[in-house]
């Protein structure tokens, strides 16, 4: 097995034993990306010389010393491009600073390697909305890798690199992790600093890892979590060692199955997989409890008011003046704004900006945005009440396995609705993880484990039990 296909924990053991060097790992990643990524399209760019130089200087005494990590191309890395997979920023922006998540990775000894593809500005379900290239699902060629962190998930699933970072606004880590057959962790809101993450929905966004194993996600969360004075929403709560307790199993835990997540709209085989795992965990000593999250049916509508509204505000900075490409020879200032945005943004980004601007406009704010915020509070209360009864919640990640490429554009509304199982965690600010299950007809499928706010240790423990069984 190549080093790029190994888990972070396995590589750490080999590094500390002196069996391999950091340069060995990075060289293998470079070989794998160069040889195979042309058919996958996971990476938008990478700098082999910089990665090798960092490997030669790696401090192997650090927790992640010498380990290369792929970075979603909406997280700023000093001296590297940050395109957000948009024509607006292609060849037009090089980051002058590190995001806090990158600073923390570097402080732990990791080597940021390359920029992974995504739906433009992280808006999408399939990574087909990238303005720069297409990404294939390496586990199921011809099918989407999921989105928006499709490049990050595909890079790990294809064994191009041991782990990556993604961002999750409504399921953008968990859903591609499920479709590609890797582990994807969305931490609680505020657990990881958002400083340096290009904002989509500021009250929803969260950076998180995509990895080969649950233990690897815990290792990365150890490095990434913690207070950041530059992000007013980051939390000043103690950061535990998330690798502790992974082997404790689920005996004595209460695990909830929300009846609203097992409806007629779900693929019967997906439902069967989740229920089968629940029975296995019950045989290991967990108590399975049926629960209700009654406002789930309003989650999609609520999300697609709040997220586009925040996107409309956040993307106003991309105006052809301060960031990115601008139209040549505009007639006036208004034409500069209009033409630059028209040429730079893709269809999905335009759709969400228009929707967000509409719901924030005079006469519609109270009817849509304010009402959506009230429903969001009800969704959060549903989870608070549920977590008084159970330790974690088991659900599907998506209603079906990865669709074939090209189908998302045929019916955007259908694919908006496919976010039903993931977006509630973002609205509530809770944590969630996707862990691979047995494939369905050769297509990967994931189990979603949801925990309360700052309940990462619980869901990692449960996910580890699923992984082992």
Q: Tell which phi-psi region holds residue 417, choosing left (phi > 0), alpha (psi between -120 and 50) or beta.
A: alpha
- Say how far apart CA 427 and CA 432 lie, in whole Å: 12
Phi first, then psi: what are they for 247, rounded to 5°?
-100, 10
Return the structure tokens found at 212: 């080969």
148 catalytic residue (yes or no): yes
Beta strand pairing status for 163-167 and 111-116?
unpaired
Return the structure tokens found at 86: 């948009």
172 catalytic residue (yes or no): yes
DSSP-derived secondary structure for 30-65: HHHHHHHGGGT--EEE--HHHHHHHHHT--TTSTTT
Are 365 and 372 in contact, with CB atoms under 8 Å apart? no
9 catalytic residue (yes or no): no
Residue of 148, 188, 234, 434 marked active site: 148
> Kind and range of the H or E element at 339?
helix 333-344
Q: From residue 368, how far is each of 382, 389, 399 by CA, in Å?
A: 21, 32, 27
> Residue 209: beta bridge partners?
165
Residue of 130, 167, 172, 234 marked active site: 172
Return the structure tokens found at 21: 């060097």
Q: Tell which phi-psi region holds residue 324, choosing left (phi > 0), alpha (psi between -120 and 50) or beta.
A: left
Q: Where are any strands of DSSP class E within 134-217?
A: 163-167, 183-186, 207-211
Taking the CB of residue 15, how many other CB atoms lie within 10 A of it?
Answer: 20
- Say how far apart CA 79 and CA 95 lie, in whole Å: 5
Residue of 6, 72, 126, 312 marked active site: 72
- Say how far apart CA 242 and CA 245 lie, in whole Å: 8
Return the structure tokens found at 293: 């999250």
- Say how far apart CA 262 and CA 264 lie, in whole Å: 7
Residue of 450, 380, 446 whose CA lies nearest to 153: 446
Return the structure tokens found at 196: 């340096």
> Residue 288: beta bridge partners?
255
DSSP 32: H
> Kind and range of the H or E element at 254?
strand 254-258
Q: How open is the CA angle 283-285-287, to the nearest 5 degrees?
A: 95
Query: How far separated are the first and last CA of the chain, in Å rounded?
Result: 23
DSSP 242: T
Q: What residues act catalytically?
A: 72, 148, 172
């Amino acid at each position: 097995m190549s080093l790029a296909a190994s888990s972070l924990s396995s590589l750490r053991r080999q590094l500390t034993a002196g069996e391999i060097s950091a340069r060995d790992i990075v060289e293998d990643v470079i070989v794998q990306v160069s040889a195979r990524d042309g058919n996958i399209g996971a990476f938008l760019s990478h700098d082999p010389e910089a990665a090798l130089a960092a490997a030669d200087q790696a401090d192997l005494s650090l927790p992640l010393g010498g380990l290369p990590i792929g970075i979603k191309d909406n997280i700023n890395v000093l001296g590297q491009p940050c395109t957000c997979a948009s024509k607006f920023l292609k060849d037009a922006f090089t980051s002058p600073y590190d995001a806090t998540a990158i600073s923390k990775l570097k402080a732990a000894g990791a080597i940021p390697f390359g920029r992974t593809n995504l739906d433009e500005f992280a808006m999408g379900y399939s990574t087909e909305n990238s303005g720069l290239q297409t990404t294939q699902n390496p586990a199921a060629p011809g099918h989407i890798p999921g989105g928006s962190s499709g490049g990050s998930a595909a890079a790990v699933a294809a064994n191009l690199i041991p782990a990556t970072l993604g961002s999750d606004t409504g399921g953008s880590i968990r859903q591609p992790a499920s479709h590609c057959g890797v582990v994807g962790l969305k931490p609680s809101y505020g657990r990881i600093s958002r400083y340096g993450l290009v904002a989509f929905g500021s009250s929803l966004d969260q950076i998180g890892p995509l990895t080969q194993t649950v233990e690897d996600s815990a290792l990365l969360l150890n490095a990434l979590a913690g207070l950041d004075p530059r992000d007013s929403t980051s939390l000043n709560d103690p950061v535990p060692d998330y690798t502790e307790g992974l082997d404790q199993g689920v005996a004595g835990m209460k695990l909830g199955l929300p009846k609203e997540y097992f409806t007629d709209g779900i693929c019967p085989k997906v439902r069967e997989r989740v229920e089968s795992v629940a029975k296995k965990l019950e045989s290991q000593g967990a108590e399975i409890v049926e629960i209700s999250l009654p406002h789930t049916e309003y989650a999609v509508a609520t999300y697609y008011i709040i997220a586009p509204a925040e996107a409309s505000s956040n993307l106003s900075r991309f105006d052809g003046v301060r960031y990115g490409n601008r139209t040549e020879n505009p007639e006036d200032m208004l034409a500069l704004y209009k033409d630059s945005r028209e040429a730079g943004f893709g269809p999905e980004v335009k759709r969400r900006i228009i929707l967000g601007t509409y719901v924030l406009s005079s006469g519609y704010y109270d009817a849509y945005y304010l009402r959506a915020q009230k429903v969001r509070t009800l969704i959060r209360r549903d989870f608070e009440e549920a977590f008084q009864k159970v330790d974690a919640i088991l659900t599907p990640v998506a209603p079906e396995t990865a669709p074939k490429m090209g189908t998302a554009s045929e019916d955007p509304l259908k694919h908006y609705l496919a976010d039903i199982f993931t977006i509630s965690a973002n609205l509530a600010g809770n944590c969630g993880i996707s862990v691979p299950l047995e494939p369905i007809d050769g297509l990967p499928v994931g189990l979603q484990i949801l925990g309360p706010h700052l309940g990462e240790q619980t869901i990692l423990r449960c996910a580890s039990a699923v992984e082992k069984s």
